[in-house]
Chain A
Amino acid sequence: MILLGEGTVGFGLFDRLRETRREVLLIPASDTLSHTLHTTLSAAFRFTERNRGVAFTVPFDRWQGGAGEGSLPALPPVTHHCLVAVVNKGRSRACIRAARAAGATGGTVVHGWGAGIPVNFYVPLIIEPQKDVVLIITACEHTEAIKHRIFAELDLGRVGQGILFTLPVTQTSGLLESAVCPPAAAESEVLS
């Protein structure tokens, strides 16, 4: 599954100048395949260099119904978190700014739609409010700070402002946390 998104590398004088187009790939893969993918993708896209993209693994379970019902995968050691913030369209920048203030390096924005609620205008419309989905990968120790910062600055406690949740990440490549300039956001994402 391929989604179109935007990376946000940094904000300077020319805000929109630094925006970059990104694609986010979601690949369901087994554990071993995931490891291979990390290695090959890192080599092919040169993730070790700055702004080349990142890959990360989120453990998941495919719902089959029947057996194994209700059980979620046991977590391998979680090193990072993937923060997912679903905010109203146009707030993604404020979200990233808040995250950056709290120590995050960068994020990827994917545009999506909230589930529609029929509204009776002249033409009966199902208004699907546009949402920005912000993906931010952070190390575990920063998660709490960033989370609370975003929550406070975007006023997510109020109804209709958006939601925020984290997914466990067990493996990443291409994340340059020590770099002076924050690296780019996700280009490739591997769902383990």
Chain B
Amino acid sequence: MSLLLQKVKSVLRALLPLLALVLLLALTAPELPGGLLARFLLSCLALLVGLSLFLWGLSLAIHPMGEQLARESAASTSPVKIALLGFLLGFLSTVVQPGLWPLGTQIGQATGGVLSAPLLVLSVSAGVGVMVALSVFRLLRDRSLSFFLLLTFGVMLLLSRFVKEGVLALAFRTAGTALGALTPPFLLALALGLAQAKGGRSAEKNAFGMVGAALAGAVLPVLLLGMLTGVTLRPEASLAPALSEGVLRPFGAALPSLSWQVALALLPLGGLFFLFNHLQFHLSRERLAGIGKGLGLTVAGLWLFLLGVRAGLLDLLAALGGALSGIGPFLPVAVGLLLGPVIVRAEPAVHVLGEQIEQATSGHIPQRLVRATLAAGVGLSLALALLRVAVPEVRLWYFLLPGVALAVWLSFRADPIFVGIAYDAGGVAVGPLTAAALLAFVGGAAGQSSSLLWQDTVGVLALTALLPVLSLMAVGTAWRRGRPVPPPTPRRAPAPAAATEPSAAEHVCLAVAVRSGLADRVVSVARGAGAVGATILRGRGGSEQETVRLPLLHLELHPKKELVLFVVPAGAHAAIADSLPADPILAAEGGLAVFLVPAEAMAQTLAAPPVSDHS
């Protein structure tokens, strides 16, 4: 099964629930405007093809690009260069995000020209750039993510007390668009590349958290501007898209501006990459061709995907929201609980995050667990936002303030890797599809007549950025408590010596399995005993006694393991194999298993110690 087919399949799995639920609602809801349903089906096709191409392009282009650029900044001797590169990457990937400039113009109108589009877009992009640069430093210097995020969220909460009502919601609306479809996957790849370049024990948990930081970076400038200018929103301002008519016409109407935006979206980042390639990387022609192909696919996929979202999905959701709230005020709340999860499953960045989690943890944390938790968080936030529409007395603060406090508290209790994943999930959950779809549905449910439209609709995004963080932190806390504690490995009696003469192999391949994080220790011990080079593989153990089953989701959790391979001349292996169990740390907590296989190596490569094969 090829990679593309796999992508299409996983995209289908992600889109089908959305299709089914929306169709069910549309068929049971009374009197929808004609043509909406046909348009929705058409847009579903665009979503399916677009999302598959987009994800495929991401793994071909954005992923290697992020990795290369990460290596470039990690292997730099000057802090100025690291900071500049981090800033540029954040800034460039944000400033041309599709939809950001039109939103800026809209906001400019809504605020009576106080916040102009260039001011807003540039300051938001700069905010993202600064936060990306800071997170690069945090990652490389191995500082605690919890404190870093405590600080940013503290500033965010503080600032939000000084702005007029609605500006907080506006800030999250802008931030969601600013991160868009492209920035989160790129930042995820960048963080993974940095973490892998840095290596060591904390590589895993370091691979996450940058998207969350970037989200904060996009929210803060808007709050700051709001505080400095004391801006208020015009009550009649509405950022919900107006309903359009017809089946094919909306597609045509969305085409010209969308095509421009998408075509420009990858230009700065791609330009920077190829510039660096010219100066520094000098990648092989083959790899460059792959990246170029991937960039093309990414653009084509994003174009189709956004076309599908804008031309078909949003209008139907808005119409559905209106129709449902017409039946009963609390009906949308119940539907929202179901609709939120199916929408966020179709979000491209959620796929990328899931795949990256599996990759960074070698399958230790199953992506199903993360997706399910994330989806539950989004469902809850949509339901809460709709509850606020039904009962206007409920304020956004009731949820936001305790929510942030709880998130901060949990971030010190949860498994560290989940803290990063949780903050990233918050950034991913306000992506282009989810943000637009949730806004449309809540906007529809609130009805165009409501005077509270602004806070009602846009508040949903602040909740959506927060609740997945909470739900994932909760799982992370449970995870830490329920983590498998491996039983002490019983010292087995030596097996009866095999009655064989030693085989005539010239070399021996030693495979050493240890608990995760101890591979470095194994290498240094073995080096002391005469080994030269080593290769480390990360995987997970499947041993029954160490496996924990989660009851609700039918998931098996495997402990992380590392496998260290040495190839040494026959005769030298005994010293190395003996040195390992003799090391107190490895013996006590290593869960050590040493296997020997006779091997035949190409002699020259091992002939000249002390040169390791990995110099």
Contact = CB atoms under 8 A, between A and B. Distances in A.
Contacts of B282: none
A117 interface: yes
Interface string A163-179: 11111100000000000
Contacts of A73: 498, 500, 503, 598
A147 B600 CA distance: 11
Nearest to A27: B542
A165 B509 contact: yes
A183 interface: no
B114 to A, nearest CB: 41
B101 to A, nearest CB: 33
B538 interface: yes
Contacts of B495: 62, 64, 67-68
A116 B287 contact: no
A151 B498 CA distance: 35
A65 B494 CA distance: 7
B13 to A, nearest CB: 16
Interface stretch (A35-43, A98-106, A107-115): A107-115
A26 B598 CA distance: 17
B615 A112 contact: no
A71 B604 CA distance: 25
Nearest to A70: B574
Interface string A34-59: 00000000000000000100000011
Interface string B1-44: 11110100000000000000000000000000000000000000
A114 B502 contact: no
A4 B561 CA distance: 12
A63 B497 contact: no
Contact of B597 (A1, A59, A68): A59
A77 interface: no
Interface residues of B, number: 88
A156 B602 contact: yes
A180 B75 CA distance: 46
A116 B596 contact: no
B499 to A, nearest CB: 9
B344 interface: no
B503 A75 contact: yes
B345 interface: no
A181 interface: no
B38 to A, nearest CB: 33
A117 B532 CA distance: 12
Given A114-B536, A163-B601, A74 B197 contact: no
A182 interface: no
B577 interface: yes
Contacts of A72: 502-503, 505, 508, 570, 596, 598
A interface bracket (residues with beta carbon within 8 Å of B): 35 or more
Interface in A1-37: 1-4, 15-21, 23, 25-28
A17 B3 contact: yes
Contacts, number: 244
A20 to B, nearest CB: 6
Contacts of A20: 1-3, 6
A164 B601 CA distance: 6
Contact of A167 (B2, B4, B78, B509): B509
B238 interface: no
B541 A1 contact: yes
Given A72-B502, A112-B535, A19 B3 contact: yes
Interface stretch (B125-133, B214-222, B442-450, B605-613): B605-613
Contacts of A110: 537
B501 interface: yes
A127 B613 contact: no
Contact of A128 (B78, B199, B561): B199
Given A59-B597, A71-B497, A131-B614, A121 B536 contact: no
Contact of A71 (B287, B502, B602): B502
A2 B362 CA distance: 9
A93 B78 CA distance: 34
A41 B208 CA distance: 37
A69 B78 CA distance: 51
A95 interface: no
B554 interface: no
B141 interface: yes
B136 to A, nearest CB: 10
Contacts of A121: 74-77
A127 B75 CA distance: 9
Interface string B536-558: 11111110000000000000001
B585 to A, nearest CB: 17
A130 B74 CA distance: 14
B567 interface: yes
Interface string B556-580: 0010010111010010001001100
B310 interface: no
**Residue from A21, A72, A115, A117 with most neighbouring chain B CB atoms (10 Å):** A115
Contacts of B122: none
A160 B612 CA distance: 7
Contact of B567 (A15, A62, A165): A165
A64 B503 CA distance: 18
Nearest to B533: A115
Nearest to A59: B597
A60 B611 contact: no
Nearest to A18: B2
22 contacts: A1-B563, A2-B539, A2-B541, A2-B542, A15-B290, A59-B598, A62-B596, A65-B578, A69-B578, A71-B502, A73-B598, A74-B498, A112-B565, A123-B141, A126-B198, A128-B536, A161-B613, A163-B606, A165-B507, A165-B567, A166-B600, A191-B595
Given A21-B3, A28-B595, A117-B615, 16 more contacts: A1-B563, A2-B363, A4-B362, A4-B363, A20-B6, A51-B1, A70-B502, A71-B497, A86-B613, A122-B78, A123-B140, A123-B198, A127-B199, A130-B196, A163-B601, A168-B597
